Amino acid sequence: MGKAFVVVNDKQTKKQIMGNFLYVIAVFLLIAWAIGFLAYNLGGIIHILLVIALISVILRIISGRKIL
């Protein structure tokens, strides 16, 4: 079996690995925040979407255009 980690001696390579690792953590936290934000505010978004859909249906009925 191989080792689970890689030993790196070059300082520049260590900085690149840590930079990539911090970038991955930042992206993961950003995605988790976005999911939490949307889950918390989903009720308001649903109501806004329903109002927009209702307005578009009313405008289509008033203008007399067919649905398809």
User: For 12-67, what is each residue's pLDDT tens digit?
Assistant: 676 676 667 778 888 888 898 888 877 777 777 777 878 888 888 888 888 876 65
Could you tell me the two tokens for 68? 């398809």
DSSP state of 7: -
Contacts of 14 (CB under 8 A, 6+ apart): 8
End-to-end CA distance of the chain: 62
Query: 5 lies in a domain?
Result: no
Domain count within the chain: 1
Q: Look up the domain containing 44 and give its range.
A: 11-63
Tell me, what's the pLDDT at 13?
74
Query: 47 lies in a domain?
Result: yes
Query: 24 lies in a domain?
Result: yes
Mean pLDDT of all residues in 3-20: 65
* Rounded Cα–Cα distance for residues 44 and 38 (Å): 10
Contact 17, 8 (CB under 8 A): yes
Query: 42 lies in a domain?
Result: yes
Query: 4 lies in a domain?
Result: no
Tell me, what's the pLDDT at 36?
81
Query: 2 lies in a domain?
Result: no
pTM (2 decimals)?
0.44
